[in-house]
Amino acid sequence: MDILRAEHIRKNFGSQHVLTDLNFSVSKHSIFGLIGKNGSGKTTTMKMILGLIKPTSGSIYVCGEKVAYGDTPTNRHIGYLPDVPEFYGYMTAREYLKLCGEITGVRRSEIHKRTDELLCLVGLNGVNRKIHSYSRGMKQRLGIAQALLNEPELLICDEVTSALDPVGRKEILDLLSAAGKRATVIFSTHILSDVERICDQIGVLNNGQLELQGPLNEIKQDYRQEALQIETLTPDQAPVLAAHLKALPFISKAEVSGRTVNVQLNHYEENSLDIIRLLASESIPILKYERLEPTLENVFMDVIR
Ligand SMILES: Nc1ncnc2c1ncn2[C@@H]1O[C@H](COP(=O)(O)OP(=O)(O)OP(=O)(O)O)[C@@H](O)[C@H]1O
Ligand SMILES: [Mg+2]
């Protein structure tokens, strides 16, 4: 079942058309990566799902209920971590979560238990310092705990990893993976390797629409760039090999970089033997021969080109 559906969303800010016809759905229990360049409309999309921004036209449904602009009842299904979360720095994490629990109507008998559980989940149990002394990564982890306090079905995180160092990013990604076991997660970013690590579904926002969406592994296969990397024994052999490769009709590109030749070709499976035969007949010794896996980077560059 779809937990989220956006239908024909348009959003203009004055004369600027940020979203022109946004359509997408997110199925339950997925981790959905919303990818787009700076200014492509990721934050705007997330704020519309939360009823914080009014679409110029179109409708959004959360758990089958239509989102209303303003204090929308659909937010009871949602936990939200904004791109720049604000906390009360003079509190400890435990005090802050308790306050958030009280404000959002978590039952008193539940608050203590849930606070303990979430502090453990995000690795902040036993940290008794005030929040103002936390690192960025710790603040993001507290933000995730706060967003999960209401046991939401949908967790929306806006660029949670973008400002973090690799260690902090890994911690947050592991945490989002764990959160994905209890909630559907929508996660916006422009760091494609983060998406590849945890998302199973992606949507690429470009030109005001989701230009590409679906399961990450299928999209990578569909966009499979047939690419090879061949490393010759010595640098002088690489240009010779490249020249021979370029003469083959199924090879579209053979570029030399040091002793490596980067090759692009059509129909690898049908043609691979011809390449091996060429290497043998021209007596070109090789150190490495590798068919390259498609990366999300290739897919993304292809879509936004
Ligand atoms: N309240 C607003 N008033 C006017 N323009 C706005 C407003 N909010 C966003 N915009 C514009 O809409 C476009 C999309 O902004 P948005 O913040 O949604 O992009 P984004 O994909 O989240 O970008 P980033 O990667 O930088 O976070 C930008 O050009 C931005 O300047
Ligand atoms: Mg943004």
Q: What is the pLDDT of residue 144?
A: 92
164-to-129, 139, 141, 274 alpha-carbon distances in Å: 21, 11, 11, 47
76 and 53 in a common domain: yes
Span from the CA of 43 to the centroid of ligand 1 (angstroms): 7
218 and 151 in a common domain: yes
174 and 57 in a common domain: yes
Amino acid code (one letter) for 297: E
Residue 87: both structure tokens together: 């906390």
287 and 253 in a common domain: yes
CATH of the domain at 233: 3.30.70.100
Element (H, E) at 277: helix 268-281
Span from the CA of 129 to the centroid of ligand 2 (angstroms): 30
Q: How many domains does the chain have?
A: 2
233 and 189 in a common domain: no
Lowest mean pLDDT among 39-43, 84-88, 138-142: 84-88
182 and 115 in a common domain: yes
Q: What is the pLDDT of residue 266?
A: 80
266 and 213 in a common domain: no
Domain encompassing residue 284:
227-304
User: How many whole angstroms from its chain centre is CA 128?
Assistant: 32
Q: What is the pLDDT of residue 296?
A: 77
Q: Is 43 in the pocket of ligand 1 (CB under 6 A)?
A: yes
Mutate to test the pocket of ligand 1, among 43, 50, 52, 194 (most ligand atoms within 8 A of CB): 43
Ligand nearest the Cα of residue 12 is: 1
Bridge partner residues of 34 (DSSP): 188, 203
The residue from 191, 222, 253 where one domain ends is 222
Q: Is 39 in the pocket of ligand 1 (CB under 6 A)?
A: yes
The residue from 178, 205, 222 where one domain ends is 222
CB atoms within 10 A of CB 123: 15
Span from the CA of 128 to the centroid of ligand 1 (angstroms): 37
Residues 6+ apart with CB under 8 A from 218: none
256 and 161 in a common domain: no
Report how far residue 290's alpha carbon sits from residue 79's, in angstroms, rounded to the nearest whole number.
Answer: 44
CATH of the domain at 65: 3.40.50.300
The residue from 183, 201, 222 where one domain ends is 222
- Tens-digit pLDDT profile for residues 173-231: 999 999 999 899 999 988 888 888 999 999 999 999 998 899 988 887 776 667 899 99
Judged on CB neighbours under 10 Å (0-12, 13-18, 19+), 119 is buried
| Phi-psi domain of 115 (left: phi exceeds 0; alpha: psi -120 through 50; beta: other) | alpha
184-189/31-36 β-pairing: parallel
180 and 271 in a common domain: no
Under a CB-based contact definition with an 8 Å cutoff, are residues 41 and 208 in contact?
Answer: yes
Q: Is 18 in the pocket of ligand 1 (CB under 6 A)?
A: yes
Q: What is the pLDDT of residue 224?
A: 64
Q: Is 115 in the pocket of ligand 1 (CB under 6 A)?
A: no
Task: Give the number of the atom of ligand 1 that is nearest the alpha carbon of residue 41.
Answer: 18
Report how far residue 50's alpha carbon sits from residue 157's, in angstroms, rounded to the nearest whole number.
Answer: 12
200 and 125 in a common domain: yes
121 and 270 in a common domain: no
183 and 273 in a common domain: no
Bridge partner residues of 213 (DSSP): 203
